[in-house]
Amino acid sequence: MTRAPPSWSPWTRSKCVEPLTVSDATVLLIGDELLRGTKGDVNLRELAQTLHEAGIRLRQASILPDDVTVVAEHLKQASRDFEVVFTSGGIGPTHDDVTIAAVARAFEVESVVDERLHQALVNHYGEPLLEGQLRMARVPRGARLATIDDSSWPTIVMENVWILPGVPEVFRSKLAVIRKWLRGSVRFTSRAVVCSATEVVLLPFIDRVVAEFKTVAVGSYPESSASGAATRITFDGTDGVAVEAALQSFLDSLPGDSSIAVEQQ
């Protein structure tokens, strides 16, 4: 389904002024190193947890190469299909940092030097800026800047696309910006049960709960521990009463010799 992104009227032409309420999102993880396996992604999990806590559904994640055309085409479609699009990676001073150019191409604008970013770079590095440093001041024309406070490094937002760094430590620091400026339209309830039985043994009990509680997402994940094999069963949904009922129904159906631990996620 193709749909228009949410209205950005709560924002001025240059910066955020109040949080936005959205319901779903996607993320584009950008980098040849991810596709070659020379580096593993750790940002997806951090983002997914942040959005889940905020009540925003992360519906899709894609890994893309450092190719302006490929990234631009994916961005163009993603910005139509989802209320919020996050990118991770491809921003910086080197030749393979193509995300800014790709976002500009997706929205059919040019990239320009943002004076606020330029001044921040001068304050940090001093003048004159090197060519690579100056590249980090470029934004798609019309982009907004989201910050936590006046001292934090701005996050570039173009329409409904949030441009985030790929370096895990820096990416993690940007999650506070997301928490401040984006709000979810739902509230998730998540519970988990750890059972000593295997998935095969638990299958009929899981299937019965899945059939009975159709609004609850039930997951099953094998685990290993010092005491042996175990299975984690998760219950997740926007209806807290249904989630709790599904959890209790599952617990009530288990054989008496199943050792369990109930967790609130």
Same domain, 93 and 154: yes
158 and 234 belong to one structural domain: no
Do both 174 and 194 map to the same domain? no
Q: Which of 115, 149, 184 is the last residue of a domain?
A: 184
- Residue 87 inside a domain? The answer is yes
Written as tens digits, the pLDDT of the chain (265 aa) is 444 444 444 444 556 667 899 999 999 999 999 999 999 999 999 999 999 999 999 999 999 999 999 999 999 999 999 999 999 999 988 888 999 999 999 999 999 999 989 998 998 889 998 888 889 999 999 999 998 887 678 899 999 999 999 999 999 999 999 999 999 989 999 999 998 888 998 999 999 999 999 999 999 999 876 667 789 999 999 999 999 999 999 999 987 766 677 766 6
For 36, the token pair is: 């070659």
Residue/partner pairs of 224-232 with CB below 8 Å, 24 or more apart: 227/196, 228/196, 229/196, 229/198, 230/194, 230/195, 230/196, 231/194, 231/195, 231/197, 231/198, 231/199, 231/202, 232/192, 232/193, 232/194, 232/195
Domain check: are 177 and 199 in the same one?
no
Which CATH number fits the domain that encloses residue 97?
A: 3.40.980.10
Q: Tell which of 148, 165, 184 closes a domain.
A: 184
Look at residue 235 and tell me if it is in a domain.
Answer: yes
Same domain, 99 and 119: yes
For 93, the domain range is: 20-184
Closest CA to 144 of 155, 152, 128, 131: 155
SS3 195: strand
